[in-house]
Structures are given as structure tokens and as C-alpha cells.
Amino acid sequence: MIFTAKQIADFLGGEVVGDNNAEVQTISKIEEGKKGTLSFLANPKYENYLYTTQSTIVLVNKSLNIHKELKCTLIKVDNAYKSFASLLELYQQSKPQKVGVDKMSSIDESVELGENLYVGIYTVICKNSKIGNNTKIYPQVYIGENVEIGENTLIYPGVKIYEACKIGSNCIIHAGSVIGADGFGFAPQVNDEHKKVPQIGNVVLEDFVEIGANTTIDRATIGSTIIHKGAKLDNLIQIAHNVEVGERTFIAAQTGVSGSTKIGKDCLVGGQVGFSGHITIADEVKIGAQSGIQSGVKNIGEIIQGTPAISLREFQKSSILFKKLPELRKEIFQLKNEIENLKKNTK
Amino acid sequence: MIFTAKQIADFLGGEVVGDNNAEVQTISKIEEGKKGTLSFLANPKYENYLYTTQSTIVLVNKSLNIHKELKCTLIKVDNAYKSFASLLELYQQSKPQKVGVDKMSSIDESVELGENLYVGIYTVICKNSKIGNNTKIYPQVYIGENVEIGENTLIYPGVKIYEACKIGSNCIIHAGSVIGADGFGFAPQVNDEHKKVPQIGNVVLEDFVEIGANTTIDRATIGSTIIHKGAKLDNLIQIAHNVEVGERTFIAAQTGVSGSTKIGKDCLVGGQVGFSGHITIADEVKIGAQSGIQSGVKNIGEIIQGTPAISLREFQKSSILFKKLPELRKEIFQLKNEIENLKKNTK
Amino acid sequence: MIFTAKQIADFLGGEVVGDNNAEVQTISKIEEGKKGTLSFLANPKYENYLYTTQSTIVLVNKSLNIHKELKCTLIKVDNAYKSFASLLELYQQSKPQKVGVDKMSSIDESVELGENLYVGIYTVICKNSKIGNNTKIYPQVYIGENVEIGENTLIYPGVKIYEACKIGSNCIIHAGSVIGADGFGFAPQVNDEHKKVPQIGNVVLEDFVEIGANTTIDRATIGSTIIHKGAKLDNLIQIAHNVEVGERTFIAAQTGVSGSTKIGKDCLVGGQVGFSGHITIADEVKIGAQSGIQSGVKNIGEIIQGTPAISLREFQKSSILFKKLPELRKEIFQLKNEIENLKKNTK
């Protein structure tokens, strides 16, 4: 598909500076631009790329000042990054969509299938499950018994969803994720052995949830492990049994949340963070990468880091001093000596 | 299935307080109870739930004192949590069991299959492997050549077991785990390239081992990587080549163990812990989450935390002081000044 | 296959000490040796095994001095470890190789298949992809549209490769890895919701790259996430969108690299390390396990550790003092008291 600068500016509500008829057919980074590609420049720091790029069209912020001659055509918009994201979306939607239920998938006859579905080859859907309209399930997915999946949801290859879990509408689950495996529950026995406690709860992903690749979300012992509406989880995250993640909370890769912990809404959690079990985190809390959260966080909007986590400011100050510990110790020794000298002198 | 309070009390060896004929058909958390559900209360802290719950029957400890009027029927037992776990197990066992070998699985004709098996659709079992009686293998599992699996073992969807590995009886392996991939072994070459060292050993899981979802256990270079009897590994754990994990040791999620390290028996290892290679950890050692274990631990039952790990007490004390480092530095400065003043005065 | 000491010595360019006709048919660790097995001893520390092993042949370094009588036959070589690795390789190559395209794989008719391929059962290869000669793709692999894979590459069961990614020649990708899932990109919206930014770039693995089990490498937003020639990534690693990993760099298990970060060549990165986004790491840098790399590293060959990372020497010194913080505080208190006393005395 080929678009002109004019067509794109009209779609974005922007203004063309240069050739209205300049044509592009794909998208690239500004530093890798070629004839026929569209790029964007959001950060004025990189303004110089504008004068050297081979891209045919560049999206820029209205506020940007131009200081040299340009070879490319500009489209000025309020927010170049957001406009570019809209174009990316348009570009992706223009691709042919997968539809149809593959004959070599295995779908139990009791399953309720919505309309306009895609179910890929070698995918298994077990007894009494329900799949909503327009949902796309890629090849090699496993969906256990009594699972419910909403509408417009996208499930990538090799995802495994254990029995009785509920997935909302407009969710995305990336390849290799495991939803609903047994939590880590064992009861100590008299004979020093540990006996597995059956986990009969489930996992609930509400609408607009996104789960990264190879992430694992354990089912509740009883009740539900819940990822609330609009929450986004990155790759390789561990969510234990009976955890709740609040609405619109973002969790970066490789973070782990222990059993029964509740994280508030609109939180931002960095990568490789660990949460102890049975604690509660307030809304809008921001947690630095690799932190260890050993107790609850009560204040809305707190910003914390470290293991155990303290306020970000304290963490930064103390980290600088951690590096200076040998110096501090030396100073203490010097003070000791000086005091010894003083003692002698005052005797 | 419907059970009366009397039937459940008889099964558990407990005593009914209330209506012997009260009927339940499912299980719930006490705070989410409804008519027809059974709940339990183990922690006296939550006693208040007892007076407000909608559950029909609640399991409680004999030792619990009742302070208000009850709507529900109680079953008094020695240990409510343990009894509840037994009921959960009963509940789960009462579900129909999967049996039969799916025609659309791919099983080499040389494979030795036990009796009363379940092998799901799109599962692959390669040459010369052996599967014991009553073992259940879900769909989309891959079992390489010369693999041996014991009896009553449960292998969830999408597990991959490389050639020549040995899985014991009564084991559970959760979805997406990879057993027996090549360890990370490379020999430096003259030409500055690194040459892969073939890994010809295997992985041995002894009986009663449980492996969480998306966990990876590498095969030994030569010999075996061994997870001993009754050890439990959570999700997303990395076990490198030639590691040994002792009997009944528990390892929480996202922990990593480097090559050739040996962990003792009855250890408890927190989440996101990292172990260096070629070290030995004594029995019954407890390791706090996110610790970095850089050298061996010799004393049985030691409790450690931190990176590098120190005793838990030391870690807690030093962590408090880490936060106070700016204060300590200020104090040192003050002392300096005071000494300067003293010097002047004594001159 | 049976080999004599003479045959092996000739192959390795080594010298037999003992019986030229001693026969072996397999390989073992020296401490687990049996009649008919070949072992090696590289570290003189373990010399004692040499006198007690049941192995028939042991490879040793030329430089090793023998102090007792031997039961086994020795083969002396320049470097026993390297020679042993060569033998392991020979041993592995002598096994029958998998070939042929399984009828029960699903390969779109537009796919270009090279010669001498192995494609396992239940594997899916989508439209317009290309697979080079001698490449082996195990069962249950998913290869999306427009993917290119080079020659002699090995892809283990259950690997998922999203559309448009490029895999070089002589690569190895272990089971369960996900190549090309969407990065974690969201643009904040006016209405407080977050809108997904489509990720239209891809992942490029250059030649001789090895990827461990259940590792995830996200596609670029635009452009490519690149793992350069000869880089080796262990298990359960997270590589975010637009990251570059330099040639021959080794990354140990469970490390995570945030978006747009560039790691130089010949680096060694320990396990469970976390990298912030948009930073650059020089060549030949060594990073200790569990470090948190919050800013770029400019000096070639730097050795760093900690969160935030400092030089290894500083980290080690400060870690020792971290443990001694309670002591240091006590000393500060004592100094305070002494100064108070001095003050009184000088008044």
C-alpha cells in the first residue's frame, strides 16, 4: 500500500511541510531511513538526524524548530510519538487477518465457539470451554476444561491454560505463557514428608490484560488469582497463587510475586523485583528494578527501591555511601587516633 | 456430589457442632462462602469471619473458642488446615480421571508403555523410551529417545524432556518445563572462538519430585544432574548442569543454581536466589529471597541472606544501618569538627 | 563403537602410557568410571582419582606428574580438557542423525525448504518462510510467516519464532524459547488508559548464536533486536525490544536486558543481572552475578558488580564492611563518648 504525505497528514490531523505528493510504503527508524519510508522524530536531542535522513517523510512535533535545509518532507503534529503509534497500528491492521478453525486442531464437541474465530493447527480445546467472538488462538495452544475466553482476545503459539481459568476480552497472551498451574502449596506431615495441597481455585484475567512470553500465573488454592483490567505483565514473570494485580498496573520482566500478595492499581514495578507473600501494596506505587519488597506499602504513590526496599532518595544516598564505606572506616580510624593523641595531651 | 456434615466429620475423625445433616457440594474461602459450600478457619486471628460467613459448614481447630452465635455448622478437628487439605485432595480425586492413549499422539513402536496410561493428543514419545503404569502425559508433550518415566507421574502440557533423562514415580512436572537441555559449556579455542562442549550426561528426577511451570533443568556434561527424592521446585527456576538438589529441599520461584553446585537435604531456598557454581550447601540451610550464595555453607541449619550472603541476623542489622548511612556519615563529620575544636583548645 | 587407546591417541595427537590395546566404548566422569569407559583429569588437584578410578583409559595433561602406581591406561595430551571436548563431539557426531520432513508437520506450500532437512512432527512453518540446508527443526516448533533460517541450525522442541525474524547459520535454539514476541511498548493516552504500540520490527540472530531454554527475545518496535555472531545466551534470559548483544558475548541464566540497551562484544555477564534501558556497555566488560547496571559502562574490560554496579574491588571491600556496619556504628558511639569525656576534662 502506498500513501502520500497529504493522505497521512489528513489522517493524523497534521500539516505537511514540503511535498504533498511524497509517497511512502513502509516505516523505519529515522537513522535507518530509505526512499519510500516514513520515520518520526519526537526527541529534539536527535534533531540532527532530520538533516541527514534518507526517509521520504518524517513526523515531527509542531513545537520543533528547524535550523537547516531539509531533503525530506515533514508532517507536523501535536505529538509525533503518539501519531507514529497510531500509524503503526494502522499499518498492522492493514495486514491480512487470520481466520478459520483449522481441521487439525482438536476441539471437544461440547466447546462453545464464537463467530469469526481463528484456531490454529495442533491447538487443543477441552470439554465445556467457551471462546468469544473474534478471538484468535494460534497453533499449539492448550486450553483445559471449563475455560472461558472473551472476545477479541489474542493467544499466541504454545500458551497453556489450565482448567477453569477465565480470560477476559481484548487480552493478549504471548507465546509459552502458562496460566493456572498449581501454586506451590504443601502441608508438612507427621512423617517429615510434605503432602501436596490440591489447588482447586483458578486464574482470572480481566479485560485488556496483556501477558508477556513464558510468564507463569499460578491458580489460587481456593478462590482466584486475579489480574485486573488493563494490567500489563512483561515476559518471564512469576505470579503465585491468590495474588491480585490492580488495574492498569505495569510489571516489568522477571519480577516475582509470592502467594496472596495484593498490588494496587496504577503501580509501576521494575524488572526482577521480588515480593514477599501476604502483603499489600497501595495504588500508584513505583518500585525500582531488583527491589525486594518484604513488607506492605501503605502510602499511595510511594517510590521505593532496594532489598529491603526503602524510599528511592534514601536508597540513592545510601548506595553512594555504600561505595564509600572503606573511606568512612578510614575516617573512623583517624578519629580514633586523634582522640588517643588528645587523651595523651590532656593527661 | 453432596456430602453431609456427619459424613465429612466421620471421614476426618472430627466432631459436628450444629446440624449433622447440613449439606455441601463444593469448597470456598471463608470470606467468599455461600450456601452449600464448606470452608475452614485455621488462624484464630480471622475468628470474626466465623460469625459472618455464608458457608454452610466450617472446619475449625478443636482448640478454638467460640464467642458469638453461629449461623454455620462447625466440624471440630485437631488441625483444620491439614483436614481441609485432605478434603481438597478427596475433592480432586473424585473428578473423572483421564485415561487412554490418543490416536493422534506419536509414539514410536519401540516405546514400552505401562498400563492404565493417559497420553494426550499431539504428544511425541521417541524411540526406546519407557513409561510406567498409571502415568498421565498431557497433550503437546515431547519425550526424547531413551527416556524413562516411572509410575503415577503427571506431566502437564508442553513439557519437553530431552533424550536419556530419567523421571521417577509420583512426580509432577508443570507445563512448559524443559528437562535436559544442554548446559552452558564452552571451551575457549585458539582462534578466540568458543567451541561448544557436547553435553552427554542426563537429568535424573527421583520419586516424589515436583517441578513448576517453565522451569529449566540442564543435563550434565557427563554423569547426571540430580533432583533427589521429594524435592519441590517452583516456577521459572534454572538448574545448571551437574547440580544436585537434596531430598525434600524446597526452592521458590526464579532461583538459579550454577553448574556442579550441590544443595543439601531439607533446605528451604527463597525466590530469586542465585548460587555460584561448584559450591556445597549443608542440610537444613534456610536462604532468604534474592540472596547471592557465592561460597559454600558448612553448618547444618544455617539461616542466611544477602549478596554475598551473611547470617540473617547480621543482614537485618546491617540493612537497617544501610538506610542510616547518611546519618552515620553526618555523625563522623560532627566528631571531626569536635576533635578539631578540642585540638585548638588543648594547644 | 569400540576404540583402542592407540586409535584415540592417534586422533588426538597424544601419547599412550600403558596398554595400546585397552578398549573403551563410552565416556564417564573419573570418579564414576567403570571398565570400558574413558575419563579425563585436567585439574591436578584431583590427581588422587587417577589411582582409584575404575576407568579403562584416562586423558591427562602432558605436564602431569605421576606419583603412584596406575591401574588405568593414560593418554597424555597438551590439554586434557580440550581433547576431551573433541572426543565428546566425535561421540555425539557418531550418533545417527535425524533427517526427513515429517508428514504430520504443517508446512505452507510457499515455504522454501533447503536440502537434507529434519522437520519433526506437529511443527508448523508459515507462509513465505525459508529454511537453509542441513537445518534440524524438532517437533512442535512454531515458525511464523516470512521467517528466514540459515544452514546447519538446530531448533529444539517447542521453540516459537514469530513472523519476520531472521535466524543465522550454525545457531542452536533450545526448547521453549520465544523469539520475536512483542516488546513491552505502551503509549499513555488522554483517558488514562495505555494503548499498545504495535511492534513491527523483528529479531535477528546472526551465525553461531546459541540461545538457552525458555529464553525470550522481543522483536524491535521498528528495526531489529540483534544478537551478534557467536554470542551465547543461557536459559530464562529476557532480551527486550531493540537490544543488541555484541559478538561472542556470554550471558548467564536469568539475566534481563531492558529496551534499546547495547552490550559490547566479548563481554561476560553473570546470572540474574539486570540492565536498564537505553545504555551502552563497552567491549570485554565483565559483570558479576545479580548486578544492577543502571548506567552505561565506557571503559573496555571493566569488571563490575553490585546494584548499582561499582568496580568489583570496591564491591568486595564494601560488602565486607556492610557486614561490619553494626561494629562501625558502635565505634562511632564510643568515639562520641570519648570526645564528651575529653570536653569535660579540657573545660
**Rounded to whole angstroms, how far apart are CA atoms C342 and B308?**
40
Please report, to the nearest 10 degrees, the dihedral formed by the alpha carbons of residues B45, B51, B53, B54 taken in order. Answer: 170
Is A196–B213 a contact, with Cβ atoms under 8 angstroms apart? no
Spell out which residues of chain A touch residue B122, defining contact as CB-CB under 8 Å: 106, 122, 124, 140
Does B254 contact chain A (CB < 8 Å)? yes
pLDDT at C34 over 70: yes
* Percent composition of chain B: helix, strand, coil (DSSP 3-state, to 5): 20, 30, 50
Say what the pTM is.
Answer: 0.91
Verify whether the Cβ–Cβ distance A328 to B323 is below 8 Å: no
Residue B275 scores a pLDDT above 60: yes
DSSP 3-state of C270: coil
CB of B317 within 8 Å of a chain C CB? The answer is yes
Give the pLDDT of residue C202. Answer: 95
Cβ-Cβ contacts under 8 Å for B78 (sequence gap 6 or more): B61, B62
Cell numbers found for residue B200: 552427554
Q: In chain C, what residues touch B214 (CB-CB under 8 Å)?
A: 176, 214, 236
Q: Residue B347: which pLDDT band, with cuts at 50, 70 and 90?
A: low
Q: Which residue has better confidence, A28 or C138?
A: C138
pLDDT reading at B341 higher than 90: no
Q: Is B210–A196 a contact, with Cβ atoms under 8 angstroms apart?
A: yes
Chain C nearest-CA residue for A323: C318
Q: Say yes or no to pLDDT of C345 above 80.
A: no
To which residue does cell 555511601 refer? Answer: A321
Do the beta carbons of residue A173 and residue A167 sit within 8 Å? yes
Q: What would the mean pLDDT of B74-89 be, rounded to a whole number?
A: 88
User: Which of A272, A307, A334, A345 to probe the C interface (max C CBs under 10 A)?
Assistant: A272
CATH 3.90.660.10 fits A3-94, yes or no: no
pLDDT band at B189 (very low <50, low <70, confident <90, very high): low
Round the average pLDDT of chain B to a whole number and report it.
92
Residue type (1 letter), B251: I
Q: Which residues of B participate in catalysis according to the annotation?
A: 241
* Chain B partners within 8 Å of C248 (Cβ): 192-194
Q: A181 pairs with which residues across the strands?
A: A218
One-character DSSP codes across A19-81: -TT-EE-EE--GGG--TTEEEEE--GGGTTHHHH---SEEEEETTPPP-S--SSEEEEES-HH
- Find, among B335, B337, B339, B338, the residue nearest to B327 by Cα: B335
Task: Provide the pLDDT for residue B305.
Answer: 97
Count CB-CB contacts under 10 A for residue C193: 12
Under DSSP, is residue B46 helix (H, G, I), strand (E, B) or coil?
Answer: helix
Choose, out of C325, C340, C344, the residue to mutate when testing the contact with B (most B CBs < 10 Å): C325
C188 pLDDT higher than 60: no
Residues 42-71 in A contacting B (C-alpha not used; CB under 8 Å): none
Residues C58 and A231: their CA atoms lie apart, in Å, by 58
Residue A347 has pLDDT above 70, yes or no: no
User: Does A278 qualify as catalytic in the annotation?
Assistant: no
pLDDT one-digit tens code per residue, B141-150:
999 999 999 9
- Spell out the residues 6+ positions from residue C333 whose beta carbon is closer than 8 angstroms to its own: none
d(CA C206, CA C227): 6
| Mean pLDDT within B45-53 | 90
Sign (positive or negative) of CA dihedral C51, C56, C61, C66: positive
pLDDT at B197 over 80: no
Q: How confident is the model at residue C187 (pLDDT cuts 50, 70, 90)?
A: low
- Which A residues in the span 180-239 are in contact with C, Cβ-Cβ below 8 Å? 208, 210, 212-214, 230, 232, 234-236
pLDDT digits (tens, 9 = 90+) for A237-293: 999 999 999 999 999 999 999 999 999 999 999 999 999 999 999 999 999 999 999
Quote the ipTM score: 0.89
Domain spans of chain C, in order of start: 3-94, 101-314, 315-346
Contact C175 B142 (CB under 8 A): yes
Query: What is the spatial distance between Cα B297 and Cα B309, in angstroms, rounded to a whole number?
Result: 10
In the predicted model, is pLDDT for residue A123 greater than 90?
yes
Residue A329 has pLDDT above 80, yes or no: yes
Grid coordinates representing C193 are 488508559
The residues of C annotated as belonging to the active site are 241
Establish if B329 touches chain C: CB-CB under 8 angstroms: no
* Residue A287 · residue A293 · CB < 8 Å: yes
pLDDT score at C166: 98
pLDDT at B90: 78
Cis peptide before B44 (omega within 30 of 0): no
pLDDT for position A94:
73
Compare B93 and B70 and report the one with higher pLDDT.
B70
CATH topology assigned to domain B101-314: UDP N-Acetylglucosamine Acyltransferase; domain 1 (2.160.10)
Average per-residue pLDDT for chain C: 92
**β-strand partners of A58:** A39, A74
Residue of C141, C234, C238, C269 to mutate, interface with B, max B Cβ within 10 Å: C234
Q: Please state, in angstroms and rounded to a whole number, the distance separating the CA atoms of residues A159 and B216.
A: 17
Under an 8 A CB cutoff, do C248 and B192 touch? Answer: yes
Mean pLDDT of C17-39: 89
Instruction: Please answer yes or no on whether B88 and A276 come within 8 Å at the CB atom.
Output: no
With an 8 Å Cβ cutoff, are B28 and A254 in contact? Answer: no
Per-residue model confidence as pLDDT tens digits over A141-195: 999 999 999 999 999 999 999 999 999 999 999 999 999 998 777 765 544 456 6
* Mean per-residue pLDDT, A2-23: 92
Minimal Cβ distance to A184: which of B32, B212, B339:
B212
Distance from the A91 Cα atom to the nearest Cα atom in chain B, whole angstroms: 33
Report pLDDT for A187. Answer: 61
Contact B238 C230 (CB under 8 A): no
- Which of A135-144, A262-271, C61-70 has the least mean pLDDT? C61-70
Q: What is the least distance, in Å, from the CA of B83 to any CA of chain A?
A: 10
The mean-pLDDT minimum among A270-284, B107-121, B235-249, C333-347 falls in C333-347
Q: In this complex, how many residue pairs, one in chain A and one in chain C, have their CB atoms less than 8 Å apart?
A: 175
Cell numbers for B263, please give them. 544443595
Say if the Cβ atoms of A276 and B289 lie within 8 Å.
yes
Determine the Cα–Cα distance for residues C214 and A178; give it in Å rounded to an integer: 12
- Which regions of A1-56 does DSSP assign to beta strands (E)? 3-4, 15-17, 23-24, 26-27, 37-41
Q: What's the Cα-to-Cα distance from C76 to each of B187, C59, C65, rounded to whole Å?
A: 19, 6, 11
Report the pLDDT value the prediction gives residue C189, as an integer from 0 to 100. Answer: 52
C303 part of contact set with chain A, CB < 8 Å: no
Cα separation, C306 vs B28, whole angstroms: 45
Given this model, what pLDDT does residue B187 score?
61
Q: Kindly tell me if the per-residue pLDDT of C255 is higher than 80.
A: yes
* CA pair distance A274, B272, nearest whole angstrom: 7
Active-site choice (A67, A228, A241, A278): A241
